[in-house]
Amino acid sequence: MKVGIEMGQVSSGPVSGGAPGTAAMLDLEELLATRLLVQGNSGSGKSHLLRRLLEQSASVVQQAVIDPEGDFVTLADRFGHVVVDAARSEGDLQRIAARVRQHRVSVVLSLEGLDAEAQMRCAAAFLGGLFDAERDYWYPMLVVVDEAQLFAPAAAGEVSDEARKVSLGAMTNLMCRGRKRGLAGIIATQRLAKLAKNVAAEASNFLMGRTFLDIDMARAADLLGMERRQAEMFRDLERGHFVALGPALSRRPVPIRIGPVETSARSGNFKLVPLPEQPAEDARDLIFKAGEDERAVRPAAPRRAPPPPPPSTNDLLAQLARTRAAAAPEPQAAEATEETRAERDAALDAVLREILEDPEAAFRTVAVLYQDFLVRCRIRRIGGEPLSLPAFRRRLAVARAGVDTATAEGTEWDRAVAFAADLAEDIQGVYLLLARAALEGAPCPPDGEIARACGSRSPGRARRLVAYMESRNIVVTRNDPRGLRIIALPDLGWETAPGDPNAFEEPAASSDSRDLFAVG
The reported pLDDT for the residue numbered 333 is 44
The reported pLDDT for the residue numbered 322 is 65
Same domain? For 357 and 254 the reply is no
Q: Flag the least confident range among 112-116, 174-178, 229-233.
A: 229-233
Q: Among 103-112, 264-273, 503-512, which range has the highest average pLDDT?
A: 103-112
Q: Is the pLDDT reported for residue 141 higher than 90?
A: yes
Final residue in a domain of this structure, among 258, 285, 320: 258
The reported pLDDT for the residue numbered 55 is 93
pLDDT tens for residues 361-388? 666 666 777 777 888 888 877 877 777 8
The reported pLDDT for the residue numbered 317 is 65
Same domain? For 223 and 353 the reply is no
For residue 179, being part of any structural domain is answered with yes
User: How many other CB atoms are found less than 10 A from the CB of residue 69?
Assistant: 16
For residue 94, being part of any structural domain is answered with yes
For residue 284, being part of any structural domain is answered with no
pLDDT tens for residues 190-246? 888 888 888 888 888 999 888 888 777 887 887 777 777 677 788 878 888 998 888
Same domain? For 247 and 370 the reply is no
For residue 299, being part of any structural domain is answered with no
Give DSSP secondary structure letters for 449-517.
HHHHHTT-S-HHHHHHHHHHHHHTTS-EEEE-TTS-EEEEETTTTEEPBPB-TT---PPPPPTT---TT
Same domain? For 203 and 87 the reply is yes
User: How many other CB atoms are found less than 10 A from the CB of residue 504?
Assistant: 17
For range 71-93, the mean pLDDT = 91
Strands in 250-258's sheet, in edge-to-edge order, are 23-27, 4-10, 250-258, 241-246, 205-208, 36-39, 183-189, 141-145, 62-67, 107-110, 82-85
How high is the mean pLDDT of the chain?
A: 81
The reported pLDDT for the residue numbered 517 is 43
For residue 503, being part of any structural domain is answered with no
For residue 294, being part of any structural domain is answered with no
The reported pLDDT for the residue numbered 105 is 94
What residue numbers bound the domain in which 107 lies?
4-258
Final residue in a domain of this structure, among 224, 258, 292: 258
Final residue in a domain of this structure, among 225, 258, 291: 258
Same domain? For 161 and 46 the reply is yes
pLDDT tens for residues 33-51? 889 999 888 888 889 999 9
The reported pLDDT for the residue numbered 49 is 92
Same domain? For 154 and 247 the reply is yes
Same domain? For 114 and 223 the reply is yes
For residue 82, being part of any structural domain is answered with yes
For range 349-366, the mean pLDDT = 72
Q: Total structural domains in the chain?
A: 2
* Residue 164's CATH number: 3.40.50.300
For residue 305, being part of any structural domain is answered with no
Query: What is the model's pTM?
Result: 0.55
Report the run of H or E that residue 316 belongs to, with start and end: helix 313-327
**Distance (Å, whole) CA 364 – CA 452:** 10
Same domain? For 41 and 189 the reply is yes
